[in-house]
Amino acid sequence: MNAPSTHLVIADDHPLFRDALRQAVAGVLSTAKIDEAGSFDDLTKLLEQTSDVDLVLLDLSMPGISGFSGLIYLRAQYPAIPVVIVSASDDSATIRRSLDFGASGFIPKRFGVETLRDAILKVMEGDVWVPADTDLTAAADPDMTKLRDRLVTLTPQQVRVLMMLSEGLLNKQIAYELGVSEATIKAHVSAILQKLGVESRTQAVIAAAKIAGGQWKQGTPTG
């Protein structure tokens, strides 16, 4: 557990909170290797460079992601790496959706260092950790469940394209950012529309925003 090979990544855009998390991790995993990422692009670049990450601590809202988009991408692209959400948005619905999308735990940012340490240790031992007062028993919305099931069928690249559509980027802009042809992006968009059961880019963004409680949408798709 405390071997030098233990490797964690803290993904949060606030340096002070990353430092607090680093201290919490060091309290239970003193010899762990800890990397930090201040944006989702930084996180994906880091994960592309190394395959030995044991845990990602991920903020739900940081540059490059919003809502559950980053979590969905990580679970699709790196299914073997556990992801724990660390967020200021800690209502029961957000916590349950995080677990539905494959998170191994949810730690509210309002908690102190001791709780952070306990949660991290539990997850590293293979358990799922959520606050003790979380109500996960409320009946799920059937429409939301159906939409969630559609979203998780997207490939990692399709998730990235949907994230960029949500930012209002054009096909040619997305193609440039991802280093592929515009025709490839058009094919991805078509596949996204089919998988989500919608007819337009705007409807796809709206559908994604619904399941994130409105947190996903960052811009208006314009073409």
Q: What is the pLDDT of residues 141-194, one digit of tens each?
A: 677 778 888 888 899 899 889 988 888 889 999 999 899 999 999 999 999 999
Domain coverage including residue 82: 7-125
Overall domain count for the chain: 2
Name the domain boundary from 125, 155, 170. Answer: 125
pLDDT for the residue numbered 183 = 95
Strand 83-87 relative to strand 7-11, pairing: unpaired
Same-domain pairing of 21 and 110: yes
Predicted TM-score (pTM) of this structure:
0.80
d(CA 35, CA 191): 35
In a domain, residue 2? The reply is no
Q: Any residues with CB less than 8 A from the CB of 96 and at least 6 apart, and which?
A: 134, 136, 138, 140
Same-domain pairing of 146 and 116: no
Same-domain pairing of 57 and 157: no
Same-domain pairing of 118 and 13: yes
pLDDT for the residue numbered 217 = 44
Same-domain pairing of 105 and 148: no
- Higher per-residue pLDDT: 193 or 29: 193
In a domain, residue 132? The reply is no
Same-domain pairing of 54 and 161: no
pLDDT for the residue numbered 52 = 87
pLDDT for the residue numbered 211 = 65
Name the domain boundary from 68, 91, 125. Answer: 125
Asked whether the beta carbons of 23 and 113 are under 8 A apart, the reply is: yes
In the chain the first and final C-alpha atoms are separated, in Å, by 49
Same-domain pairing of 147 and 119: no
d(CA 169, CA 163): 9
Range of 110-114, 167-171, 215-219 with top mean pLDDT:
167-171
Nearest to 57 by CA among 48, 93, 49, 46: 46
CATH number of the domain that residue 159 is part of: 1.10.10.10
Same-domain pairing of 111 and 23: yes
Using DSSP, state whether 125 is helix, strand or coil: coil
